[in-house]
Amino acid sequence: MSTTRIIGIGNADRGDDAVGPTVIRMLAQAPPEGVVLHTARTDMLALIDTWRAEDQVFLVDAVAPAGSPGRVVRIDASRTPVATELDSFVSSHGFSVAGAIELARALGRLPARLLVYGIEGAGFEPGAPLSPAVSRALPQLVSYLQADCIACTRPH
């Protein structure tokens, strides 16, 4: 039986990198029925073992600034490769999210559905709070996730 999982990625103490764990905390207030919530902050290689082949998975992570902080991008990683710079798979924290997804794809271990929600950050300073732009984007992001979860968990 498939499980719907939402995985919030990031460091809660580094500015907008906290958006993933913050979304998980907000969803935990009224967890969507039948949805398992996770957070991940360091070893992304372990993501591959977080999901099973039949699962529906939503990853929430901050993405690099590109001029529109708070902008939400939604990538269907089940169909589209997410890594653009293959050599950048390993960061100072071990393995990158994109690296883990593409390794899972090469090994045939992607879940049935994998959506990546990227939220463009403004700053990632140690100890800083979320930026105003990312904070303002949170309610909309949570409503997108809830709607996607309902669509996933509804009998069909």
Partner 1 sequence: MTERRRIKVDYLARVEGEGALDVTIDGGQVTDVRLKIFEPPRFFEALLRGRHFTEAPDITARICGICPVAYQMSAIHALESACGVTVEGPLRTLRRLLYCGEWIESHALHVYMLHAPDFLGVHNVVEIARSQPAIVERGLRLKKAGNAIVALLGGREVHPINVKVGGFYRLPSKAQLRTLREQLAVAREDALATVAWVAGFDFPDFHRDYELVALRHPAEYPFNEGRIVSSRGLDIGQSEYHDHFEEHQVEHSTALHCRLRGRGHYHVGPLARFVLNHDRLRPLAREAAASAGLVTDCRNPFMSIVVRAVEMVQAIDEAIAIIDVVELPAAPAVAVEPRAGTGLAATEAPRGLLHHTYRISADGLIEHAQIVPPTSQNQATIEDDLRAFIAPRTGLPDDDLQWQCEQAVRNYDPCISCSTHFLDLRVTRR
Q: Which of 1, 34, 39, 74 is nearest to 47 (CA)?
A: 39
**Token pair listed for 8:** 């919030």
125 makes contact with partner 1 (CB under 8 A): no
**Under DSSP, is residue 38 helix (H, G, I), strand (E, B) or coil?**
strand
92 makes contact with partner 1 (CB under 8 A): yes
12 makes contact with partner 1 (CB under 8 A): no
Beta bridge partners of 7: 38, 59
User: Which amino acid is it at 127?
Assistant: G
Distance of CA 43 to the CA centre of its chain: 14
111 makes contact with partner 1 (CB under 8 A): no
User: Which amino acid is it at 63?
Assistant: V
43 makes contact with partner 1 (CB under 8 A): yes
30, 49, 80, 155: which one contacts partner 1 (CB under 8 A)? 49
List all residues 6 or more positions away from 70 whose beta carbon is below 8 Å from its beta carbon: 119, 120, 122, 131, 133, 134, 136, 137
Region of 44-52, 54-62, 63-71, 134-142 interacting with partner 1 (CB under 8 A): 44-52
Q: Nearer to partner 1 by C-beta: 94 or 135?
A: 94
48 makes contact with partner 1 (CB under 8 A): yes
Q: How far is the CB of 113 from partner 1 (least distance, A)?
A: 21
Q: How many C-beta atoms surround the C-beta of residue 16 within 10 A?
A: 28
Q: How far is the CB of 102 from partner 1 (least distance, A)?
A: 5
Name the residues that contact partner 1, by CB under 8 A. Answer: 42-43, 45-46, 48-49, 83, 86-95, 99, 102-103, 105-108
